[in-house]
Amino acid sequence: MSTETTDADVIVVGVGNAAMCAALSAREHGARVLVLEAAPEDQRGGNSAYTGGMIRHVYRGVEDLRQLIPDLTDQELNNIELDTNTEAQFFDDMGRLTQYRCDPDLTEVLVRQSFDTVLWMRRKGVRFQLAYGRRAYRVDGKFKFFGRGAAQIWGGGPELMKALHTTAARENIRVLYEAPAMSLLCDDRGVTGVRAKYQGRTADLRAKAVILASGGFSANAEMRARYLGPNWDLAKVRGTQFNTGKGIDMALQIGAMPTGHWSGAHATEWDMNAPPFGDLTVGDSFQKHNYPFCIYINAKGERFVDEGADFHTFTYAKYGREVLNQPGMFAWQVFDQTVTHLLMDDYRIKRITKAVGNTFEELAGKLDGVNGRRFLETVNAYNNAPRPDVPFNPNILDGLCTRGLAIDKSNWATRLEKPPYHAYGVTCGITFTFGGLKINTSAQVEDTAGRPISGLYAAGELVGGIYYHNYGSGSGLISGAVFGRIAGREAAGYIKAP
């Protein structure tokens, strides 16, 4: 490989969902594309390779989903009750979950282009299916969907990566693995390429435009401690070890504007004995998201959060922080047999931290690190708390709540009274960070004066300004796809400009 030329118009840094959508879009609009990836090929995909495949987009009903999943049968549709995710609902969720801090211009693009983007992904080979088990429970013989996310990518992250890379290979998009980007090349005209390391040699790779899509700093312990705060350097990493924030640093070094919630992150409940980084053989199955049906117990033997505040799709990305803030940075989710049939398959994997007891006294002795006496008092208080006489319904905010506890449970507060009792040990697993680069609606990276940096675009987790405090399930994949597609199109258009 020449140290001065790559025979490419556009260089994409990263190889996950946002990066490959950018590469495919740029190629679709006539650009020659080179993709640089720090990881070896068998670990390609960034955090996208670890996702379960939930993807949030606008849909108004069955006809929209039939466009996305054309093999849906009438029989299948007769056995489901769909919710909707209209533009208005999507806007409301983005505002509510981010405390109305999300960038209004970027949010409008994200929402309004979400459905067209998933249809475009389908044309690029990505398959979709209904999200049974994650977004629907069977009630009265029908699956009723909840949480405004009825579709998911078939096969999750691995199949997403396979589909995008298969299409990229067919369209002659070259990918260099174990080729980490080190810095951006730029002059008075703007960005003109990337300095990278490949096969032991440093190379200056020239191009007419560069798209950064290499993830945030979730795998960088030093940056997590610096920006997120104490103990975040000890958090488990749900995904790749290669999201070290290098793409962000490269852009900041040439004057890009930092923006967004730098002390915020998507962080979930993750098996306490999971490895330090994600394991592709397990994917996202170390997650434990059925906590709305449990009581959460910390080392003191006490509850510390309202488990039933909302559907897990709207709380799971912030409750990881709550677990991290507990003594010892762990907690136990405790269920009885009333609800265990509702648990996702993630609770049935072999590599799991689990305790079982036929009595609470037996269970208390198996909850490592927990004050057993106080745990028994907590369970007793929870079971004896007054409740309204309403039926338990996992598909709606059922209003079955406790009254008079220090922290009341707002929904799904069934008593724990049917043994054997199951408990699952969890800690915090960080998914991605919220702080990043400022882009405009054309995915151009802006400098500290608010001007676009010529030839530089960005998409995916290293973009800031979209998420604050919290996150709605599936919106990360669609954000990467929407702005990746825009970045590729705009970069291709830029190189053709006189």
**38 neighbors 498 (Cβ within 8 angstroms):** no
Nearest to 144, CA basis, from 414, 290, 342: 342
pLDDT score at 199:
86
Q: Which pLDDT does position 139 carry in this prediction?
A: 78
pLDDT reported for residue 497: 82
Residues 444, 459: Cα–Cα separation, whole Å: 9
pLDDT score for 138: 84
**The pair of three-digit structure tokens given for residue 203, joined into one six-digit string:** 């190379």
Q: What is the pLDDT, as a whole number, of residue 3?
A: 45
CA distance 210 to 33: 10
What is the per-residue pLDDT for 4?
Answer: 47
Distance (Å, rounded) from C-alpha 445 to C-alpha 443?
6
Nearest-angstrom CA–CA distance, 3 and 206: 8
In the block, residue with structure tokens 């008593």: 415
Q: Among all chains, which residue has been given the structure tokens 């996305």?
A: 68
Token pair belonging to 419: 């043994």
Q: 344: helix, coil or strand?
A: coil
| Residue 180 preceded by cis peptide, ω within 30 | no
Spatial separation of the C-alpha atoms in residues 142 and 37, rounded to whole Å: 45
Domain ranges of the chain: 10-216+434-496, 267-429
Type of residue at 229? G
How many helices (H) does the chain have, and how many strands (E)?
13, 22
Sign of torsion over alpha carbons 289, 294, 298, 304 = positive
Give pairs for 128-133: CB < 8 Å, separation 24+.
128/55, 128/68, 128/69, 128/152, 128/153, 128/154, 129/69, 129/153, 129/154, 130/65, 130/69, 130/72, 130/76, 130/80, 131/54, 133/344, 133/345
Cβ-based neighbours of 91, under 8 Å, separated by 6 or more: 107, 108, 111
Amino acid 133: pLDDT: 74
203-213 in b/e form (b: 16+ CB < 10 A) is: bbbbbbbbbbb
Pairing of strands 421-433, 236-237: parallel
- Structure token pair of residue 87: 């533009």
Crossing angle of the two packed helices 114-123 and 475-496, in degrees rounded to 10: 80
CATH of 10-216+434-496, one of 3.30.390.10, 3.40.50.1000, 3.40.250.10, 3.50.50.60: 3.50.50.60
Q: How far, in Å, are 143, 432, 444, 497 from residue 452 at the CA level? A: 48, 25, 6, 15
**264, 467 Cβ separation under 8 angstroms:** yes
Cα-based distances in Å from 333 to 134, 241, 261, 423, 426: 18, 27, 29, 5, 8
The distance of Cα 368 from the centroid of its chain, to the nearest Å, equals: 29
**pLDDT computed for residue 36 by the predictor:** 98
Q: Which residues contact 496 (CB under 8 A, 6 or more apart)?
A: 30
- Which CATH topology does 267-429 take? Flavocytochrome C3; Chain A, domain 1 (3.90.700)
Nearest to 267 by CA among 342, 339, 353, 329: 329
Write out residues in the chain with pLDDT < 70, as ranges: 1-6
Q: Which residues contact 225 (CB under 8 A, 6 or more apart)?
A: 232, 233
The reply to whether the predicted model has a pTM over 0.85 is yes
Task: Report the pLDDT value the prediction gives residue 140, as an integer from 0 to 100.
Answer: 79
Give the pLDDT score at 498.
Answer: 73
Size of the chain, expressed as the number of residues it contains: 498
In three-state secondary structure terms, 151 is: strand
Instruction: Quote the Cα angle for 153-66-91, to 5°.
Output: 70
